[in-house]
Structure formats: structure tokens, C-alpha cells
Structure 1
């Protein structure tokens, strides 16, 4: 396996595009497995919502169950990611996937007939949310392992972000196809099957295999490549150990007893910048969904919501793939505030759209900044921390996006109908625009090395 690690670097000079990313050893099969599992994230929420509503006969019970499911999944994501960093994907992911799938099957059984108890069903739904495996953060950590070249890694993160965006569009469509065939409970079962299958196929990949320090294989070269990109900045203080190769999924080296070492998260200003950018991006997106619905209703064309939000996804996909295709993009420290500002300005412009066609164009323009902003945030977070903390860093960015989205939707829900809709768009853009000077003041660079002059406070998040 030792030769497999050097292939991506060589490929980067010959074929520096997306083909080189997917052509890296075991990358295609691992990414495909991750996408299968992550498709469940687009299937399960809607399937659970319909199943709980039909079985209990209560929209309030369904809404409360789903809110708690989302909170449990989002807030505990860093905790689950820490387990992956500490024990490696092969030891941590299967128990999570099996337990989460089993709980989803229990929900399907409980909701298969009308008259299910809301408390029982709600408890099962929340428990399932607590166990959701962090397949996205793990996949991004594996990208770092096999693609030490910074240009290829950026393309991989861009491709990953665009694919994830499309999965959240495809998942509800799949639920729509399953409901008349299998009913809500069957759709929940399908989501559980996707989750379990994807997670198990993912950890079956050679990339997820644990590596001992000094044992050859892809971990050592990838760790060396990351060190070259990140710079020698004394990360042993965060538990990365000088010269220790990155373990599977960024789990770091092993001790003499073969156990993964646990490190502090670290990351300092760079990680906080990534989390801030992700949070304000999520907030804008969560607010935008509801504002588009309100705008379409005011125009008397509620059915237009679908194609306007599709324009957002298309814009995001174009922006993400465009960022990955660039050979020499701007530095991360420039890109992160630039994309955040672009999103804020596009949201502001959308508020003054005179009709649905112009709104759709403005929303597509906003989408152009979404995937690039999130891709850059994930890259900054990945580069800011030690090898054995990367899954946790990615999970914090992911948590920030989801928490921001929930906050944005809830806030706009209180404003719509009470203040003019254009003002709602402007207010939704304020956090993104306000974050720009903060992000510009942060000097975290492309590789994210922490300066020795940074205070102790800046080394912990």
C-alpha cells in the first residue's frame, strides 16, 4: 500500500482536475460509500416527519420530534467526531451506524400503525439523532489523508461539498417516490439501510484501516504531505507528536500500546474563523428558505418555491465546482471573508427583487457563494488543527452550519408578517456582512500554522 500514497501527488501534475481526485487510490470507492450513507441524511428527516405525523395524528408531535432529532444530531456531532479521532473510523463508525439504524427501524415499527404514543416515538427519534455517525467529517479527513497536495485537496473538498448539496435535494425526492410504494415506515427503513450500508462500506475501504506508527502505508506520506502544507509549528502541544503519521481519518499516531492518543482540539483563531463563517452562511440559508416561501406566497405562486430553491442549489454547485477548478485561487484568508460578503450582498439584493424571475436570479447568485464559503471553511478548519483532531474540527464547522440554519429559520419565522419582507432579507444578510471585518482581521493564512507568538487562549477552542 505504500505506493498508493504517492500516486495523488504525481497525478496532480499530470491530471490536476477532478479526475485526478477520484483517481487517487481507493478514493472513488470510499467517496461512493460515503455518499450512499450521507444520502440517508436527506431521506431520514422527511421520512421521520411524515411517519410520526401519520402514526400520532399530530403535526405538533411530529414537529417537536424532528426538532429534538435535529438538536441531538447537531449538538452531539463534535462528541461523535471526537470518538472517531480517538479510536479511528473502523472502531467508532460501525457501532454508531448499527445503533442509529436499529433505532430508526424501531421508529419504523412503532409508526407502522396509527395510534403510536408520541412520547415513545419521540424518545426513539431523539435517541437515533444522538447516534448519527459523522460520515461527512470523516470523509473530509480521509481526503486529507490521500491528497496531501493542496490543489487536489481543495478540489476534493469542493467536489465533496457539491455532492452533499445535491444529496439534500435528492433525498426528499427519493422519499416522494417511496411514500406511495412503501408508506412512511418503509421510507424510514430505506433511510436506515442507506446509512448502515454506506457506513460499513466506508470503513471497509483500505483508507479506513488503522496504521501503527512506522508501519508504512498511506498514513505516513499523507501525514508528511500535510506537515509540508501546514508548516512546522510545534503541534505536538496539541497531541500530534513530532513525526507521528496521521492515523485513519486523521486519528493521529498510536502509542506503543497501539492506542490512538487523544489530543486537544486547538485550532485557535483559524478554527474560530471557519466556525464563524459557517455559522453565518447557515444562518443566511435557513432564513432564505422561509423568505422565498413568503415571497412566492405574496406573488400568488407558491409552487415557484421549488424552482427558486433549485436555482440556489445549481448556483452553489457551479460555485463549488468553479472554486475547485481554479489552479491558483486567492488565499484562504482572502476567500473566506470574500465569499461571506458575496453571500450577504446577494441576500440583500434578493430582498429588492420585483418579481419571482429576478428573485430566482438573485438566489442563484447567492448560491454561487455558498459552496465556496463552506468549502473554504472546511479547508481552514482542517489545516488549523493537528492530524488527530481533524474530524472534530470538521464536525464543529458542520455543527455551525446546521445551528446557524436552524437559528436563521426560527428568527425569520418570527419576523415574517411583522416587518416588510425586503427588510427581512436585509436583516438575514446582516450577520454575514458583519462577520466580514472580523474574518479580515484574522491572519490564518492558507496552511493555518499557528505562530509561536499566539497566546494560550488562541490555541484552544
Structure 2
């Protein structure tokens, strides 16, 4: 009886997933995000298969990441100005074209500068499905269910990240890295168009910006919101910490004689994040979201300390699961806070800036951690991650008042 009541209660809490039109856009978002989980590994394998060095592979992958960080906010701005449907359709059509150009530049051994430019352009055509989905949740889900929707969103976004490398491995084993890149591109296209043409997307009212000559001013005002600045700063620092952990884990595994176990450790980290995100759907955060966010960041930094002291691979898998627990919850709470500190007509833009902060932070954390790993080993990489996590929590504490509810213009 208790189990049945719990099941019924959970179904009620997740009822927003079966609202008319919602399953379609959720599936579309998962499909359209596959390029984000597949492209980095595919580019490394593609460049290496052509005989080029790991340095070149790293530069191409970095260029793709920089393109996401710099150009995704522009796509999100376009969504707020022109609507999701036209922007996603245009980018969905452009994505396979730019990916094919990138593939040709690598296979034909074009000058490295041209290949890097092709990688940046290809990244710029990735449809901003994450910001679009989070903005849509705000429109179709009301009340306490919105926080649960953001918790689901933070958990669901882990799916393509986990599935992507497995798909790349299978495709490369059966075909080639080039085929994997093209399949990733068309997955993004199908997801974008499926989302853009969904009736629920067309039915959601869109507020246009007032005039073209004040668009820049509005974006400056958006970034000047104290709460938004705090969220973007703390999220970027946590992304740097996650990037450092992601790079330190393979170094730890290799140093303990089992490089292949790095995948198991990172998989355990992702599993903990998913579990934490689903657990958050049982919590109501309407009144105490700033406190919950601060607590989540502090717990993330605190649990990461365990990474420094663990010295065996089995225990590292256990600790990685524990470290992953607050990851999705902190992301979900940041979504809720971002929603409350952004005007309705700029919500997609705000989430675009958020994605840029996450992407740029992850890349910066990996780059800075690489130097530490090369000179001092994995323990220093983990300590670097702990320091970044602690700094994020400290910033949140010092700027706590900025996260309190206020009138947003």
C-alpha cells in the first residue's frame, strides 16, 4: 500500500510530462542534443584517422567548443526576437551543411586555420534546443511543477552526454568517424525540426522585442541584473570544476594501471547526477531556492574533497557517484533562479548566456587543469576542482542577497 501511494504520488508530480504536446518536444530535445554529446569525441577520432596529431585534434575540438560558447547566445537572442520555429528550422537545415564542410576540410587536409574556422561555424549552427526547452517549460508549466520540470530537464540533459560517446564508438567500429559526424548532424536536424514544428511550440505566445535599435541595450540590461550575474558566475566556476574532474579522472585511472576504468568512473559520476536530479523532483523549492542553491554548491565542493583522498579505482567509483549527486540538482535550481531573474521576453537569451558560461567554463577548467596534471598528477587536478567548487560556493554566499526575489524589468 505504501509503495502504491508512493508510485501514485510520483506520477502526480511528473504529470507535466504527459501534458498534450510535451512528450514530443522532450523526445525532440533529446534527439537534437545528440550532436553535443557526440561531436567532440568524433572530431578527435576524425582528425587522428587522417594522420594528424593530437595537438591538431585538440585545437579543432577547442575551436568547436569556442564556437558554441560565442555563437550559441546569438542563436538564443534570435529565438527571443523571431521565435523558436523559424530559427530552429534554419539552423537545423544549416547544421548538416556546415558539418559536411568541416568533414571535407579535415579529410582533404585543408590548412589548419580553415579547419578551425569550419569548426567554429559548425558549432554556431547547433540549434539552441536547451535554452528553447527551458523557456518552453516556463510557458507550459506553472506553479510548483515548474521546479520539478527544471529538475527533470537537468537530469534529461545528461542522457545525450552519456549516450553520445557510446554511439560514436559503435559507429566508428562499424563505419567511420566521418559517418558518425554526419549522423550526429542529421540527429540534430531531426530534433530541431521536430521541436520547431510541434503544435505546443507554435501555440506558445511570443513577446517580440520593442525595436531593433534597442536590442543591444536590452541585452546589456539583462546581463546587468545582479542575480543573473551571480548565477552565471557560480555556474561557470562549477563548470570549470567539472571540466577539471573530467580531465583528472583519466589521469587517475591511468596512474592506477587501468586507463579503461576512466569510463566507468565518469559513468558513475553521471549516474549519481541522474539520481540526484530525480530525487529533486520530490522537493518543493518555491520559497527557499537561493538557500538550496547555496547549499547545493557547498555540498558539491565538500564531496569533491573525497576525490583527493581516495586511492583505489573501486572506491573512486563510489566517491564519483557521491560527487555527482548534487550536480543535476544544482543545475536544476540554477534554472529556476534564472527563470525568476530574467524577463519573459528575454528568457531564451538568458539561458543562451547560461549555456555559454557552462561551455566556456568547462573548456577553461580542462585547459588549466591539463597543465597541473602534466606537472603534478591527478591529485592536484582534483584539488584544483575542489578549489573552484569552493570559490563558487563562496561567491554565492557573498552575493546571496542578489538571488533574493525582486522585480525584473
Normalised to the residue count of structure 1, the TM-score between the two structures is 0.80
Kindly state the Cα deviation for residue 14 of structure 1 after the two structures are TM-superposed: 11
Summarize the alignment of residues 22-421 of structure 1 with structure 2, pairs less than 5 Å apart: 22-55=17-50, 57-111=52-106, 113=107, 115-149=109-143, 151-209=144-202, 218-219=204-205, 247=206, 252-253=207-208, 262=215, 263-264=218-219, 265-266=221-222, 268-327=225-284, 331-419=288-376, 421=378
Any conservation in 2 of the 1:316–1:367 contact (CA below 8 Å)?
Answer: yes
If each structure's helix is expressed as a fraction of its own residues, which one has the higher value? 2
Residue-by-residue CA offset, 1:182-216 (whole Å, 9 max, x unaligned): 3111111101110111101111012322xxxxxxx
For 1:329 and 1:386, how far apart are their aligned partners in 2?
Answer: 18
Q: Which runs of 5+ in 1 are unaligned?
A: 1-11, 210-216, 220-246, 452-458
Instruction: Report which structure shows greater RCO (CA 8 Å, sep ≥6).
Output: 2
- SS class of match (1:322): helix
Distance verdict in 2 for CA 1:424–1:195, change over 3 Å: closer
Distance verdict in 2 for CA 1:327–1:288, change over 3 Å: same
Partner of 1:223: none
Distance verdict in 2 for CA 1:58–1:218, change over 3 Å: closer
Any conservation in 2 of the 1:56–1:117 contact (CA below 8 Å)?
Answer: no
Kindly state the Cα deviation for residue 450 of structure 1 after the two structures are TM-superposed: 3.1
Count of residue correspondences: 397
Kindly state the Cα deviation for residue 384 of structure 1 after the two structures are TM-superposed: 0.5
Residue-by-residue CA offset, 1:358-407 (whole Å, 9 max, x unaligned): 22222111100111111111221121111011111111222111211111
Q: CA RMSD in A?
A: 2.6
Greater Cα shift, 57-66 or 277-286: 57-66
For 1:436 and 1:53, how far apart are their aligned partners in 2?
Answer: 39
Q: Does 1:430 align with 2:384?
A: no
Any conservation in 2 of the 1:337–1:435 contact (CA below 8 Å)?
Answer: no
Distance verdict in 2 for CA 1:197–1:410, change over 3 Å: same
Normalised to the residue count of structure 2, the TM-score between the two structures is 0.89
Any conservation in 1 of the 2:251–2:377 contact (CA below 8 Å)?
Answer: no
- SS class of match (2:401): coil
For 2:381 and 2:40, how far apart are their aligned partners in 1?
Answer: 27
Larger radius of gyration: 1
Residue-by-residue CA offset, 1:114-166 (whole Å, 9 max, x unaligned): 655544433322211222221101111011110022x2111111111211112
Kindly state the Cα deviation for residue 445 of structure 1 after the two structures are TM-superposed: 5.4
Q: Which runs of 5+ in 2 are unaligned?
A: 1-7
Partner of 1:4: none
Any conservation in 1 of the 2:307–2:382 contact (CA below 8 Å)?
Answer: yes
